[in-house]
């Protein structure tokens, strides 16, 4: 049995460890984080019109430097980027989803983000989270870039409700989730959902940041009006 004083001590150690980890990295220029550990890189105001946004989901919880890893999406395309600090692997999908939706609402409230063009990105388990969350909430998300993800998080798919969505699917020749991705691609084609399937060389592993940039470029071509 863990006594209350031990719980406080463990919580303090965790908080100090997290603080030390963040201090070991410099917060990227232009990035700010809130009390929920969600981090944001927004375009400079004033804007002619709201911009698309990418929410980055990390297997260990989003950090400010994750934004820097895909910063080209902001610098080259003018998008907003955010990371969800609490969504991570080894945590229930329901809890992850609640925090992702809370972050999506925050982006809407900035007035700088086009609420009809918010996308998710995730690798492996968080790619599965991105996929499942996007399909369950097509009114909140216009699609997702999913990298080496499985399909185990899909609990709802309504082709009619998802007709406006688009999915950029990345896998590898030696990825243990490759079959999941190929079947998902076939399902989307059959259902009339716009998608593209990229099969690269190698084993299961996160790809270069340029993969995410290419996915967002593809979304711009598909959804820009």
pLDDT in tens, 95-151: 999 999 999 999 999 999 999 999 999 999 999 999 999 999 999 999 999 999 999
How far does Cα 113 stand from its chain's mean position? Answer: 16
Backbone angles phi, psi at 182, to 5 degrees: -65, -40
pLDDT score for 26 = 77
pLDDT band at 46 (very low <50, low <70, confident <90, very high): confident
Q: Please state whether the predicted TM-score (pTM) of the whole model is above 0.85.
A: yes
Helix (H) or strand (E) holding 5: helix 4-24
pLDDT digits (tens, 9 = 90+) for 164-210: 999 999 999 999 999 999 999 999 999 999 999 999 999 999 999 99
Backbone angles phi, psi at 196, to 5 degrees: -140, 145
Domains of the chain by start residue, with CATH: 26-223 (3.40.50.1820)
| Neighbouring C-beta atoms of residue 152, cutoff 10 Å | 14
Least trusted range by pLDDT, from 5-9, 49-53, 217-221 = 5-9
């Amino acid at each position: 049995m863990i006594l209350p004083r031990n719980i406080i001590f463990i919580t303090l150690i965790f908080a100090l460890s997290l603080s030390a980890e963040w201090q070991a990295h410099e917060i990227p220029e232009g990035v700010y984080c809130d009390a929920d550990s969600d981090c944001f890189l927004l375009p400079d105001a004033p804007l002619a019109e709201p911009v698309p946004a990418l929410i980055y989901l990390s297997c260990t919880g989003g950090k400010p430097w994750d934004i820097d890893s895909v910063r080209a999406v902001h610098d080259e395309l003018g998008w907003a980027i955010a990371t969800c600090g609490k969504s991570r692997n080894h945590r229930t999908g329901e809890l992850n989803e609640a925090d992702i939706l809370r972050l999506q609402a925050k982006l809407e409230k900035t007035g700088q983000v086009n609420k009809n063009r918010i996308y998710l990105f995730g690798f492996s388990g968080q790619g599965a989270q991105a996929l499942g969350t996007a399909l369950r909430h097509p009114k909140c998300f216009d699609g997702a870039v999913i990298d080496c993800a499985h399909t185990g998080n899909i609990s709802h798919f309504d082709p009619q409700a998802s007709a406006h969505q688009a999915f950029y699917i990345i896998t590898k020749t030696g990825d243990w989730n490759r079959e999941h991705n190929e079947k998902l691609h076939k399902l989307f084609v059959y259902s009339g959902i716009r998608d593209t399937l990229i099969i690269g060389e190698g084993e299961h592993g996160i790809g270069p940041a340029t993969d995410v940039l290419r996915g967002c470029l593809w979304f711009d071509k598909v959804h820009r009006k």
